[in-house]
A and B are shown apart, each in its own frame.
Chain A
Amino acid sequence: MTLNRTEAASFKTIDSETSSASAVLSRGLWSDVWKRFKRNPIALAGFYVVCFLVFIAVFADFIANDKPYYLEYRGKTYFPIIRSYMVDVELGRWPAELLNVDFKKLEGAKAVFPPIPYRATGINLLEPLEPPSMRHWFGTDKLGRDVMAGMVHGSRISLSIGFVAVGIAVIIGVILGAIAGYFGSWADLVISRLFEIMLSIPTFFLLITVAALLPPSIFLTMAIIGMTSWVGIARFTRNEFLRIRNQDYVTSAIALGVSDRNVMFRHILPNALAPVIVSVVLGIAGAILVESSLSFLGIGVPAQLVTWGSILREASGATFAWWLAVFPGFAIFITVLAYYLVGEGLREVLDPRLRGLR
């Protein structure tokens, strides 16, 4: 039907009203969610662990580094850690006397070091495979690298792999699931076949194949994990879309002539997100587990990087060095557990809630 401009404008207002209505619904929903979530002590504990890990990952350079925070040398003061950031982005340079120097061995210098005064990749052939001690709280690996520093910096890799891989999975999964659930009929048919294909392929095997055949790179690993784990999210999204599509506010939006894209992403999607959120959280846990398996098999991790999985791999070759197995293994375990608890807590809170809304 044809509309003149004023009519179109008024429809637009209605459109934004319905969408803001659902937005209000959403905002109210989430603060409610948080209140209920807090009542579950175990899930809350998991949440705090996750926050702690994120904090460590973000501030890794300030927690474990062989450069000091603060240095007084030859009458001048420096902030080496910050300066190294600046040099990396080419906004600064090292003064000649500090070029490639070992900060711990500077004569006549006063320095304040981070709590773990080592770099993750700092090789020290004089102290290989040392058990935990006052010098190295978690011991060292076969090249003398401090294990605690390795774990702190490794958390960055583990968490970023989790986020990015799941991010990719969410994008693919939500889009495909939305299309399948919204349009139904042959779009659903084709996309459901795609689900079946992805589900039937042995993903881990495929992962190994691809990761082993291509040059190792963190980005590639993230991408592959993401591209093989979107099916769960897609299915949930599809089911939600199928369910919500028949609700009144959606049918009325469609009748009012709101474009398909807007209906899908501004009306339905915010309400379909609940199971997706849960999948995201669980997916991060899964991605971290997969990454540790790949690292363990020696695939996908570039040689210079130290990740939790790569330290674990060393443990299998030096079984007496229990600290190489216990700490990273435990870290992976705690991280995955924390995410899982948060995910489950969220599911418990969101599920019955959604039912209530029906």
Chain B
Amino acid sequence: MAPRFLLWMLVLLVLAGCGDNSEVKFPEMVGAAKDFGAPVTGDWLVLHTLSDPEQLNPLTSSDAGSSEVLAYVFEALLTRDPRTLAFKPLIAEARPEISQDKLTYTFKIRKDAKFQDGRPITGEDVLFSVKAIKCPFVNAPFLRVYYDSLVDAHLVDPYTIRFSIKEPYFLNESVLGAIAVLPRHYYDPDNLLAQVSVRDLTQDPAKLPDAVKQFGEQFNRNYSRDPLGSGPYQFNFWKTGREVELVRDPDYWGNGKEGIDQPYLDRLKFRVINNFDAALIRLKSGSLDYMEVLQPVQHVRGTNSQRFKQDFRKYEYYAPTYTYIGWNNDHPIFRDKRVRQAMTHLTPRKQIVESVLFGLGEVVDSHIYLFRPEYDKTLKTYPFDPQKAVALLRDAGWRDTDGDGVLDKVIDGETTPLRFEIKINSGNAVRKSVALVLLDELHKHGIAASVRELDWTIFLNDVKNHQFDAVVLGWQMSTTEPDAYQVWHSSQAANKGSNAISYKNDRVDEILEQYRREFDEEKRIQLYKQFQQILHEEQPYTFLYVSKRVSAVHRRFQNVEVFPDGLRPIDWWVPASRQKYGSTLTSR
């Protein structure tokens, strides 16, 4: 009886144990910096991606997973120099001609650019791409909103397109330059959009012809999985939930051309692993080559062995996101700026960066990215000073009158304890730690705060409807020219806007409005410096820290460099002697 099942177990074990223990053998990694000569093509890059793309439609997908992949497949009119961040033409021949009144932009299109199926790119395709964005039946309302100011576009000649804008805004060049060029013959084979102009599309959707509606439905439904663009990498397959594969286009139009990024790697495989620990294990065992984001703990403890260092190189760099505590400026407790300043003094920001982030970050005091010229370096950071905080609170009227350990104050005739709730979204361990550390410090000084963790959609809802006392959140900062209007202008507080804390300052409003119309960079910088100084005094947020990111890349990849926007796998190549997956471009 017992032996019988043992036999079965043995069979199973044998079957399982027969598996390959090392998937592909590593070529020997010897020596450090060696000159491998000129870049060659070949080999694959297996990247870690945290979540499966929702879909691979260039316009309707909005998640991080898809944009990561589509960035290699599609190209836009302009791009940015990775180092200087200056505009560089891509599909366009040069930067646009801008009219005196800043309301007309004219782009000339390259004549040698082609799509991945060999067909040339013409003005018609660019016009189509614009119409697709503006089409109200295409499921991309949040992208469309950025092009609200674009009221018309038409072709001056087959290779020249002219845009008409509603109001002057110095970032319009960036917005127009970012239009992804889609092949009309692929995404609209029946030319359904030919009959309407861009101006027509801005009118009442009900008056549009049926063909437009048909296009929208078709576009939404049939193009989620097979993107076709003009970029250096073509879509090969997508195993849902597991992997997306892109293959280098050997006939890429940009091959050998100056000023265009040259691709070398034959395949890009995006492996979906939604768990960081599992991903690190796969990195170490050879089934991943590149992890863009290592968790702080993994960086400090899990990736420092001899063997790891032999196989991988780590890169530490600033990520343009910052985390903050947002105080609801309409809340009776937080209306007083002294209370807000006290909170900042009570937050051990440096200690948090050291202990919670393992040093992977830096304390910041402003909304602007650290490396932008607009950043005000003269801001004096608020030190961690509980004494000062208690003094500020006392000034503001808070003291413990009933000996229960909690500060209180008489507000509207009632003795109110200094009690409030900090909301955070679930699934973010770092923010949770930040909230808990703050909580502990607050409790020590008589402030009865509590933390509430909410599911993302509920949390988002509460934030937008201003149902919170305090929140821990983050913003993505732009490495290119910033625009703080959406977050800090008082008009953005109503109607679920991004000014969720209801911040209102007339001078700041003025500055933000003036800034948008200012085309002179120096003057813009001055304006924003004033803006940051006001915020610094008022502390509507307690700015916490800007994050640092650590990436791990297998050593065989050459030309790996850190740029303001991070790493650029498109530049990487592997010398022939070290290639792991060979250099055949045959498909599976």
Chain A residues engaging chain B, CB cutoff 8 angstroms = 87, 90, 93-96, 99-100, 102, 121-123, 125-126, 128, 142-144, 212-213, 215-216, 298-299, 302-304, 316-320
Contacts and interface: CB of A to CB of B under 8 A. Distances in A.
A125 B301 contact: no
* Residue among B302, B355, B429 facing the most chain A CB atoms (10 A cut-off): B355
A204 B403 CA distance: 46
Given A100-B444, A125-B348, A318-B301, A303 B404 contact: no
B433 A143 contact: yes
Nearest to A127: B355
B351 interface: yes
A264 B440 CA distance: 53
B446 A123 contact: no
Contacts of B354: 125
8 contacts: A95-B403, A96-B403, A100-B445, A215-B458, A216-B453, A302-B452, A303-B436, A318-B297
A94 B406 CA distance: 11
Contacts of A212: 455
A168 B253 CA distance: 69
A93 B436 CA distance: 26
A143 B439 CA distance: 12
A260 to B, nearest CB: 45
A142 B446 contact: no
A320 B277 CA distance: 11
Contacts of B433: 142-143
Contacts of A316: 277
B400 A99 contact: yes
Nearest to B295: A317
B114 to A, nearest CB: 47
Given A99-B405, A317-B277, A123 B348 contact: no
B564 to A, nearest CB: 29
B403 A125 contact: no
Given A99-B400, A121-B440, A125-B355, A319 B348 contact: no
SS class, residues of chain A in contact with chain B: loop
Contacts of B437: 123, 125, 143
Contacts of A304: 436, 439, 450-451
A128 B297 CA distance: 11
Contact of B426 (A90, A143, A216, A318): A216
A319 B277 contact: yes
Contacts of A320: 301-302
A213 B455 contact: yes
Given A317-B276, A317-B295, A123 B403 contact: no
A122 B404 CA distance: 20
- Interface centre among B354, B403, B427, B437, by most chain A C-beta atoms within 10 angstroms, is B403
Contacts of A298: 426-427
By Cβ-Cβ distance, the 5 closest A-B pairs, closest first, are A93-B403, A125-B355, A303-B453, A123-B440, A303-B451
A94 B297 contact: no
B47 to A, nearest CB: 22
Nearest to A144: B355
Interface residues of B, number: 39
Given A216-B426, A303-B435, A100 B297 contact: no
Contacts of B297: 142, 317-318
B35 interface: no
Contacts of A94: 403-405
Contact of B446 (A99, A216, A302): A99
B432 interface: yes
Contacts of A125: 348, 351-352, 354-356, 437
A303 B351 contact: no
A94 B348 CA distance: 27
A123 B400 contact: no
Contact of A99 (B277, B403, B427): B403
Contacts of B404: 87, 90, 93-94
B454 interface: yes
B424 interface: yes
A307 B442 CA distance: 22
Contacts of B522: none
A324 to B, nearest CB: 11
A212 B456 CA distance: 10
B486 to A, nearest CB: 29
A319 B302 contact: yes
Nearest to A99: B405
B20 interface: no
B402 interface: yes
Contacts of B443: 100
Nearest to B443: A100
Interface in B300-343: 301-302
Contacts of A303: 424, 432, 435-436, 451-453
Nearest to A299: B426
A318 B426 CA distance: 19
Contacts of B356: 125, 142-143
Nearest to B458: A215
B559 to A, nearest CB: 32
Nearest to B406: A100
Given A125-B348, A303-B453, A143 B277 contact: no
A285 to B, nearest CB: 26
Contacts of B440: 121-123
Interface in B36-57: none
Interface string B164-183: 00000000000000000000
Interface in B259-292: 276-277
Contacts of A87: 404-405
Given A93-B402, A99-B403, 15 more contacts: A87-B404, A87-B405, A99-B400, A99-B405, A100-B405, A121-B436, A125-B351, A125-B356, A213-B458, A215-B455, A299-B426, A303-B424, A317-B297, A317-B429, A318-B297
A103 to B, nearest CB: 12
Interface in B422-476: 424, 426-427, 429, 432-433, 435-437, 439-440, 443-446, 450-455, 458
Contacts of B452: 215, 302-303
A300 B382 CA distance: 36
Contacts of B454: 215-216
A63 B238 CA distance: 56
A322 to B, nearest CB: 12
Contacts of A126: 355
A298 B277 CA distance: 16
Residue of A90, A96, A215, A302 with most partner-chain B CB within 10 A: A215
B436 A123 contact: yes
A215 B458 CA distance: 9
Nearest to B451: A303
A124 to B, nearest CB: 9
Interface in B401-427: 402-405, 424, 426-427
A87 B445 CA distance: 17
A126 B356 CA distance: 11
